[in-house]
Amino acid sequence: MDFLSILPEQDQLKIKILELVLSLSNDDVRNDVIREHLAISNYKFEESINGINNDTEIILQQKALTIEQNWLVVEPCVSRALIQQLRAYYFKFAPLQILIDNTLHQNRYPRAQELEVSFGWSRTYYSKQKRLLKDLQIDQWHTYAEITTRQFIFSLYTYFGYKLTIENNVEQLKIQKLVALTTKSQLSPNQQQQAELLMAIMLIRMSVPTREIITTNLWVSPSVGLVKQFSVILECDTQRATIEAQLLLQILFEQGLLVDELMTSLQIKADYNTELATIVDIITHNMQLLLQTGSQTKQQEFVKSATQIIFSELYTQGFAAEFDITRTRYFEDIYPTLNRLVNKVIKALLEQHVLTEQYQIDRIYFKLMSYILVSDFDISQFDQIEVCFDFSGGQYVNQFMIETFKTYININVVISTHVTKTTDIYLGDYFNDQLLIEQLIWVKPPTAMDWAKLGDMIAQAKISKYRHVKEE
């Protein structure tokens, strides 16, 4: 679903205008282009621009857009980071957020009088909000299988950058213990937020009686020792600890946050052996061209990890469009052989009826391609092209151009996965309001405009950081 539809219509329109502005150009945009594209009147257009500026004045203390005759002047602050800040701001006050948050805690819709007392909602207004959820086909989200409910809340809150507040010190300590027990030792800021959000959701849902928890689609089989640790931390019985361990491990795996020790020992429940064998056979048969470039050990590791990737996606609901399948042209153009291999796997999964939903295909495609590209297989032999460099000025000039081309992606750029005192730019796909450094938000895979923005940001950072070198 489109999570943006959770917001009131006027806030949705403001976000759509900013997204359209970014997609069209970094420069000013004609007003009629935006009005025609979004099919809105001039009054609605001007009202939205004024609304955007009022909101950015609150967040950034500056305007984002200015109407000058037939043109919309775009200020430098307009970026994907700003869009995510505005999304979080709008979601915080969205009526549907209030309704969903209250339902999350109670596992039922709050009574009309409860919201009347807490938020001043009339019964008519309350009914209208419930009807909106029904129109979005998510009015029964709290009655789903528990894994689906938590995936929904996690995806929704992550999309809007919403933080669940756990004020109780004892509960905060539980979150810290669970993060230390189950996640990687050094998490990036984004990963830390995701892990803490998952733990917070778990603690909130602990108030739901075990008898009300629907445990279908849980494929992880946690060890006895891990269940005991969960039981101690969560102060619950073995049955509930087992369920919570399954839920958390499964989502942590899906998000790539699971600690290596648990990742290595991850077991799939025996109930799923037939499905598992089918996936292993499909990968082994259709990935031979890739597998034969690595050792036997690498092949086994790849098949196991790829199987887990596919398997986990079968039981992950497609609530958010995390990946834009229209941008697979990037992989098709740059890695045509790998693209063909992955598509062969997906085709076989469809023929065997392992895959049934489009969002599963999209996510598996991106994740398998990403996994292959960071694996230890030698893919340099695939899809080779030859480029002739023939620059005037002598062999040294030509060689310089060749070396520049080869190192274009990271010209004098140090890459890390953690923010330190010397970090100049934070590059990710979710804005982090805890950081006081420049941030750049990309889509996956990045567009040409994203690359251009990164280049501009790196150049500006170097100008600021090394101005004294130029002056010396």
204 pLDDT exceeds 90?
A: yes
Q: CA 222, CA 252: separation in Å to the nearest integer?
A: 13
Residues 6+ apart with CB under 8 A from 158: 194, 197, 320, 430
**Residue 386's pLDDT is what?**
65
- Say if residue 130 is in the same domain as residue 244: yes
16 pLDDT exceeds 50?
A: yes
Q: Among 264, 288, 310, identify where a domain stops.
A: 264
Q: Among 374, 408, 432, identify where a domain stops.
A: 374
**Residue 357's pLDDT is what?**
84
> Are the C-beta atoms of 101 and 163 separated by less than 8 Å?
no
- Out of 21-25, 35-39, 96-100, pick the least confident: 21-25
Backbone phi, psi, residue 439, to 5°: -125, 140
The per-residue pLDDT for range 209-254, each reduced to its tens digit, is 999 999 998 999 999 999 999 999 999 999 999 999 999 999 999 8
Look at residue 293 and tell me if it is in a domain: yes
Name the strand (E) or helix (H) holding 425: strand 425-428
Query: What percent of the chain has pLDDT above 90?
Result: 52
Look at residue 365 and tell me if it is in a domain: yes
- Say if residue 10 is in the same domain as residue 35: yes
Question: How many domains does the chain contain in total?
Answer: 4
- Say if residue 103 is in the same domain as residue 168: yes
Which stretches within 25-77 are classed as H helix? 31-38, 42-60
347 pLDDT exceeds 60?
A: yes
The per-residue pLDDT for range 430-447, each reduced to its tens digit, is 888 888 888 888 877 677
Burial of 82 (0-12, 13-18, 19+ CB in 10 A): buried
> Are the C-beta atoms of 407 and 421 separated by less than 8 Å?
no
Query: Which residue's structure tokens are 């009202």?
Result: 47
322 pLDDT exceeds 60?
A: no
- Residue 452 lies in domain: 416-471
- Out of 32-41, 251-260, 304-313, 451-460, pick the least confident: 451-460
Highest mean pLDDT among 272-276, 329-333, 335-339: 272-276
- Say if residue 233 is in the same domain as residue 284: no
- Say if residue 97 is in the same domain as residue 184: yes
Round the CA-based radius of gyration of the chain to a whole number and report it: 25
Structure tokens at 298: 């690498």
**Residue 271's pLDDT is what?**
87
Name the strand (E) or helix (H) holding 68: strand 65-68
**Residue 430's pLDDT is what?**
85
Query: Which residue's structure tokens are 């790849």?
Result: 302
Instruction: Give the single-character DSSP code of 143.
Output: G
- Say if residue 72 is in the same domain as residue 148: no
Listed residue (196, 171, 169) closest to 183, CA to CA? 196
Cβ atoms within 10 Å, residue 167: 6
- Say if residue 219 is in the same domain as residue 314: no
Structure tokens at 145: 């299988």
Backbone phi, psi, residue 67, to 5°: -90, 120
Q: What single-letter amino acid sits at 39?
A: A
Binning the chain into helix, strand and coil, the percentages to the nearest 5 are: 65, 5, 30
- Say if residue 183 is in the same domain as residue 320: no
Q: CA 63, CA 77: separation in Å to the nearest integer?
A: 8
- Say if residue 117 is in the same domain as residue 231: yes
Structure tokens at 228: 């005991």
Q: Among 46, 71, 90, identify where a domain stops.
A: 90
Structure tokens at 255: 């998000």
Look at residue 158 and tell me if it is in a domain: yes
- Residue 51, SS3 per DSSP: helix
Interstrand relation of 29-30 and 71-74 (parallel, antiparallel or unpaired): antiparallel
Give Cα separations from 390 to 172, 236, 394, 411, 436 (angstroms).
62, 71, 9, 22, 45
Interstrand relation of 438-441 and 425-428 (parallel, antiparallel or unpaired): parallel
Look at residue 138 and tell me if it is in a domain: yes
The per-residue pLDDT for range 396-430, each reduced to its tens digit, is 877 886 776 566 555 567 788 888 888 888 888 88
Look at residue 259 and tell me if it is in a domain: yes
Look at residue 306 and tell me if it is in a domain: yes
Backbone phi, psi, residue 428, to 5°: -160, -165
> Are the C-beta atoms of 348 and 282 separated by less than 8 Å?
yes
Highest mean pLDDT among 302-311, 323-332, 353-362: 302-311
**Residue 159's pLDDT is what?**
92
Confidence of residue 470 (pLDDT cuts 50, 70, 90): very low
- Residue 420, SS3 per DSSP: coil
Q: What single-letter amino acid sits at 267?
A: Q
Give Cα separations from 224 to 74, 229, 238, 262, 330 (angstroms).
58, 9, 9, 13, 44
Tell me the CATH number at 71. Answer: 1.10.10
Q: CA 369, CA 445: separation in Å to the nearest integer?
A: 11
**Residue 57's pLDDT is what?**
96
The per-residue pLDDT for range 352-389, each reduced to its tens digit, is 988 888 888 888 999 999 899 888 888 877 877 666 76
66 pLDDT exceeds 70?
A: yes
- Say if residue 295 is in the same domain as residue 330: yes
Query: Which residue's structure tokens are 């391609």?
Result: 369
Look at residue 404 and tell me if it is in a domain: no
What strand order describes the sheet that includes 65-68?
29-30, 71-74, 65-68
The total number of residues shown for the chain amounts to 472
Look at residue 232 and tell me if it is in a domain: yes
Mean pLDDT of 264-293: 91
Confidence of residue 14 (pLDDT cuts 50, 70, 90): very high
- Say if residue 139 is in the same domain as residue 86: no
- Out of 85-99, 102-116, 309-323, pick the least confident: 309-323
Average pLDDT, the chain: 87
325 pLDDT exceeds 60?
A: no
Mean pLDDT of 249-278: 89
- Say if residue 96 is in the same domain as residue 238: yes
